[in-house]
Amino acid sequence: MSLEVDPRRAGRLPFIAAWGIMLLMAGMSLLTAFLRMGVWAPVLEFTIAALQVAILFILFMRLKGPPSLRWVFAASGFFWLLFLYGLSMTDYATRHSWPTQRVEIENPRD
Amino acid sequence: MPSSRTIAPEIQYASLAQQGETAQIGMWVFLVNETLFFGALIFTYFLYRLSYPSEFAVAAKDAVLWCGSTNLVLLLTSSLTMVLAINAAAQGRRSEMVAWLIATLALGFLFLGFKGYEYFEDVRDKVVPGLNFEMKPGEAPAGELFWVFYWVATGLHAVHLSIGIGLILYMLLWRIRRGEITPTYYAPLEVVAIYWSFVDAVWLFLYPCIYLVGRS
Amino acid sequence: MSIAAFEPGAEPAADVESSNYLTARNTIASWLLTRDHKRIALLFMASITFFFFVGGFAATLMRMNLATPGGLLQPSVYNRMFTMHGIIMVWFFLIPSIPATLGNFFIPLMIGARDLAFPRVNLASWYVFNLSGLVVLFALVMGGADTGWTFYTPLSTEYANGYVFAAAMAVFINGFSSIMTALNFIVTIHRLRAPGMTWMRLPLFVWGVYAVSVVMLTATPVLAMDTFLLAVERFLGVGLFDPSRGGDPLLWQHMFWFYSHPAVYIMILPGMGVVSEIIPCFARRPVFGYAGMVVALMAIAVLSFFVWAHHMFVAGISIYAGVVFSLMTFFVAVPSAIKVFNWTVSLHKGAILFDAPMLYALGFVLLFTLGGITGLMLATLAVDVHVHGTYFVVAHFHYIMVGATVSAFFGGLHYWWPKITGRLYPEIWARFAAILMYFGFNLTFFPQFVLGYLGMPRRSYTYPPEWQSWNLLSSAGASILAVAYLMPLLYLGWSLIWGRRAGPNPWRATGLEWTIPSPPPSGNFEHTPHVALGPYSYDPERGRYISQDGTSHAV
């Protein structure tokens, strides 16, 4: 899209290497599921997913490089989700009548 | 095959470069919207999974892991082929660009194929809420919510993927055939590539949500 | 790079002096397939005006019904009326009103561009809007939904037997129109500003539209997902929001209000932008505290996302969440208050002209203040417990959405009417309509504060007879308001044919849009404007004003 051919675009190796790394990470994630890691398993799995998405965004979707304005938009979607998740949890984490179908009742005050 | 025509920028743009950059920015702005759309869905998933961990673990056992994992590999590879097509476009290697785009298409169709087969398996396993859902012991009643999320999320993802396939076809059969994608101006293809990789990113998050629950 | 410097040669030159965006190529296809943002603005104007009167018709029936306790409509019909009134007014009038009409028309002109960044997306936005309009009309004609515009579960998912699915799908589709418009504005304002038009030289209307676009872009997808899940639950009978199956009905409300609270700011921010244009021009003074106004607009846009559960204080959320959201709601009032102070101070030592746009703008400031203060009352948990679900709330939001936003819309329409049409409207009639609207509005909605305080619930087709006098006042006011809304249709329409022709700058204003002919040529600017200074360079003491392109004019 610029008038000269961007020399960085000439290289295939970075992308192939990144693809390989993402496949490895996917394998790690899969492995994590089968180890008995309890609550840490999803933490690790989603961290790996986030890192893979970061590689996709920065390298494959070419976030690095101009125009830097795109970073603002790339980040703001996730940032805005924090509002939804975070503020909603002020309700769900403290509402005694939630969840409704749990067998063990933690707070008989319901 | 028509040779590349001189493309003029639209009247509101000073140059093709500005037009192309702006188109890319436009796609990123659109992705803010998509992030929040899928993010809201994943929020409901997170809420219910945090609230009903054991029910979700039981329910998720019926997810077809090999299909999900195969599809993950297919999509990651398709992001690679897509970016290689962009590289080829930037360097004027037209037939290579077309080849990589066709490879991307093929991977996309393969994804849909495996997804379709997986849906067939799911119907057979009776995990379709509203249709033939069979509650398993230890799953009731919140486990069904896992499967509601599954069908909505993978269904919407498949729709987005199909739109991506449509966009690539449009590039191949319309813009590229008319010579409108050149090393000077290949922004429309870049825009499609960004969208495509985003659809891949969504699957990267859906994968642990659906296929890696309750496996240990 | 964000500055555009385009060549004038790209489009066919407008040799004929009388050729402008209205007269150039006047076939139906040239209008329905146009890429010109000005024509698309007029297309939107037609659509939203139509829906304004559809929603207004529902309101007329409601107020006629409420004039007496005996009523006029069957209860189930009344329920469908208030539902469709809400849905149509919110999504098919208020949300698109200023952005898709005045925003579409003037954003490129005010930043010195020749069109928006994505003209075809702009046109697509209008078609998608009309598609959603067809769906909502279908729902209306087939009998409507009766869940209230808020579609709360489980009424909407399980028990309601109206056209809930159609209404929800209309809203879903409508969301895409919003998103496309927002996307276009954000990218345009970032990338297509003329040389010299830095961010802090942008007119406040542009900032207002930018802020509203940010909100539209980030809030609407959550509503889209929420309505989609509503449809899934209604259609397939699953239990996403059903407590007996592990779901949470409040989850529907959380996601709904995550959008719908920012939505009310979508409805007010552009109005604030319009008023910020009118007040400096008709007070002949720069606006007070430009930077503060900018920060306030953006702060409102962001803070609006932190307050949504104040609609749910008595719905069953945790009391701790209630405290958090109440506190956040108090915070969001601060930037709004700053704006009210700044508008007021902008009048100080001004040479105020009471033309119709200014009457609407001044009315806006007063009505917005009243609406905002009552909002703070509602934000107070202890008060809200008593007045939630009463006419107090109804009055509060109508003061903002009708008193403020519709005033701003009419103010902007009158302010920019000469530019859009090349005609001057008859000033006496316009002032009369503005004053009539102000009185009609207050007569309609102030009694509703009283009724709410007395305990009259909203969404009820009848009420105890001791409240009839207040209701009668309100209905009487509504009939005056209806006249005030119909009058502009008449005299603005009259002006299109018999109005005096307008010059480029009848109001002696400083924006870039006033440096080009009225109506503008299709390509807006013959040469790229070069912006020399900020907006609102009114200098009454020295007897001059300076346009943003640097040209000085004697007052």
Helix ranges (DSSP H) in C284-355: 290-303, 319-346
Q: Is C308's CB within 8 Å of A87's CB?
A: yes
Which chain C residues are Cβ-neighbours of A96 within 8 angstroms? Answer: 318
Closest CA to B159 of B111, B193, B117: B111
Q: Do C248 and A98 touch (CB under 8 A)?
A: yes
Q: Tell me which chains share at least 3 CB pairs under 8 Å with chain C.
A: A, B
Q: What is the largest CA-CA distance in chain B?
A: 67
Cβ distance C309 to A77 less than 8 Å, yes or no, reads no
Mutate to test the interface with B, among C1, C158, C187 (most CBs of B within 10 A): C187
CATH class of B16-211: mainly alpha
Distance CA C36, CA C122 (A): 9
Q: What's the pLDDT at B133?
A: 87
Q: What is the spatial distance between Cα C424 and Cα C500, in angstroms, rounded to a whole number?
A: 5
Contact criterion met (CB < 8 Å) for B198 and A84: no
CB contact under 8 A, B39 and A42: no
Query: Is residue B18 within 8 angstroms of chain C, CB to CB?
Result: yes
pLDDT in tens, C277-313: 999 999 999 999 999 999 999 999 999 999 999 999 9
Do you know the residue count of chain A?
110
Compute the nearest-CA separation of B73 from chain A (Å): 7
**Which residues from B are below 8 Å from C108, CB to CB?**
12
| Partner-chain contact B25 A69, CB within 8 Å | yes
Torsion of CA C301, C303, C308, C311, to 10 degrees: -90
C72 touches chain A (CB under 8 A): no
- Would you call A36 and B216 a contact, using CB atoms and an 8 Å cutoff? yes
Residues near B116 by Cβ (< 8 Å), separated by ≥ 6? Answer: none
Test B130 with C187 for CB contact under 8 angstroms: no
**pLDDT for position A9:** 57
Indicate the residue of A69, A84, A93 with minimum beta-carbon distance to C222: A84
Which residue among A90, A95, A100 places its CB closest to the CB of C324? A90
Task: For residue B44, give the chain C residue with the closest CA.
Answer: C251
Task: In whole angstroms, give the CA distance from residue B66 to residue B211.
Answer: 9
Q: Which amino acid is at A41?
A: A
The answer to whether B207 and B72 are in contact (CB under 8 A) is yes
Q: Is C419 helix (H, G, I), strand (E, B) or coil?
A: helix
* Short-list C416, C432, C436, C433, CA closest to C424: C416
The pLDDT assigned to C15 comes to 43
Does the distance separating the beta carbons of C254 and A100 come in below 8 Å?
no
* Helices vs. strands in chain B: H and E counts, helices first: 6, 0
**Residue C3: pLDDT band with limits 50, 70, 90:** very low
Q: Does C240 touch chain B (CB under 8 A)?
A: yes
Long-range contacts, stretch C59-63, CB < 8 angstroms, 24+ apart: C59/C85, C59/C89, C59/C478, C60/C478, C60/C482, C63/C444, C63/C474, C63/C475, C63/C478, C63/C479
Complex ipTM: 0.94
DSSP state of C226: H
Q: Enumerate residues 6+ apart whose C-beta is below 8 A from C351.
A: C283, C284, C285, C540
Q: Is B207 within 8 Å of A36 when comparing Cβ atoms?
A: no
The DSSP line for C39-77 is HHHHHHHHHHHHHHHHHHHHHHHHHHHHTSSS-SS-HHH
Sequence letter at residue C333: A
Classify burial at C514, counting beta carbons within 10 Å of its beta carbon; exposed 0-12, middle 13-18, buried 19 or more: buried
State pLDDT tens for residues B17-33: 999 999 999 999 999 99
Whether C465 shows a pLDDT value over 50: the answer reads yes
Residues of A in contact with B189 (CB under 8 A): none
Name which of A5-14, B94-103, C255-264 the model is least confident about.
A5-14
* pLDDT one-digit tens code per residue, C74-111: 999 999 999 999 999 999 999 999 999 999 999 999 99
Give backbone dihedrals phi and psi of C505, rounded to 5 degrees, phi first.
-140, 65
| pLDDT tens-place string over residues B104-120 | 999 999 999 999 999 99
Q: Which CATH architecture has domain C40-554?
A: Up-down Bundle (1.20)
What share of chain C in percent tops pLDDT 70? 97
Closest residue in C to B17 (Cα) is: C1
What pLDDT, on a 0 to 100 scale, did the predictor assign at position A104? 52
Question: Residue B201 half-sphere exposure, CB side, CA atoms within 13 Å?
Answer: 25
Measured at the alpha carbon of residue B182, what is the angle toward residues B176 and B188, in degrees to the nearest 5?
65
| B155 contacts on C by Cβ (under 8 Å) | none
The verdict on a CB contact (< 8 Å) between C229 and B152 is yes
**Residue numbers of C between 335 and 394 with CB closer than 8 Å to B:** none
CB contact under 8 A, A70 and B25: yes
**Is residue C100 a contact partner of residue C414, using CB atoms and an 8 Å limit?**
no
pLDDT digits (tens, 9 = 90+) for B173-196: 999 999 899 998 999 999 999 999
B33 contact residues in A (CB cutoff 8 A): 77
CB of C217 less than 8 A from some CB of B: yes
Domain residue ranges in chain C: 40-554
Q: Say whether B39 and A19 touch across the interface (CB within 8 A).
A: no
Is residue C2 over pLDDT 90? no
CB contacts, 8 Å: B18 with chain C: 1, 4, 191
Given A83, A96, A101, which is nearest C306 (Cβ)?
A83
**pLDDT reported for residue B137:** 83
**Mean of all residue pLDDT scores within chain C:** 94
Q: To probe the interface with B, which of C122, C128, C229, C238 has the most B CB atoms within 10 Å?
A: C238
Considering only CB atoms, which chain C residues are within 8 Å of B37?
221-222, 224-225
Residue type, A59: L
Of B29, B129, B156, the CB nearest to C187: B29
**Residues within 8 A of B (CB atoms), C 187-206 only:** 187, 190-192
Mean pLDDT of C160-179: 94
Q: What integer pLDDT is reported at residue A68 of this predicted model? A: 87
Give tens-digit pLDDT for C138-157. Answer: 999 999 999 999 999 999 99
Q: Are A77 and B34 inside 8 Å of each other by CB?
A: yes
Q: What mean pLDDT is predicted for residues C198-219?
A: 97
**How far A28 CA lies from chain C's nearest CA (Å)?**
32
CB pair distance less than 8 Å for C246 and A90: no
Beta carbons of C217 and B32 less than 8 Å apart: yes
pLDDT of residue C88: 97
Inspect the interface and report whether the beta carbons of A76 and C218 lie closer than 8 Å: yes
Structure tokens at C68: 């007496």
pLDDT band at C263; cut points 50, 70, 90: very high
Mean pLDDT of C435-464: 97
Dist CA B100 CA B84 (whole Å) = 7
Nearest CA in chain B to C116: B12
Global pTM reads: 0.94
Q: What is the pLDDT of residue B2?
A: 42
Listed residue (B55, B35, A39) closest to C224, CA to CA: B35
Give CA separation, A75 vs A79, B167, C43, in Å: 6, 25, 35
Please give the order of strands across the beta sheet that includes C537-539.
C537-539, C544-546, C552-554
Contacts C7 to B, Cβ<8 Å: 14
pLDDT value at residue C16: 42
A85/chain C closest Cα distance in angstroms: 10
Average pLDDT (B61-68) is 94
Give the domain ranges of chain B: 16-211
Residue to mutate among A29, A31, A45, A61, with most B CBs inside 10 A, is A61
A86 Cβ contact partners less than 8 Å away, ≥ 6 residues apart: none
Band the pLDDT of C358: cuts 50, 70, 90: very high
Q: Kindly determine whether residue B193 and residue A61, on different chains, have CB atoms separated by under 8 Å.
A: yes
Residues in C closer than 8 angstroms to B187, CB to CB, are none
Neighbours of chain A (3+ CB pairs under 8 A): B, C
Mean pLDDT by 10 residues, chain A (110 residues): 47 92 96 88 95 95 87 94 96 88 53
Q: Is C384 helix (H, G, I), strand (E, B) or coil?
A: helix
Res. C118: pLDDT tops 50: yes
Averaged over C156-183, what is the pLDDT?
Answer: 94
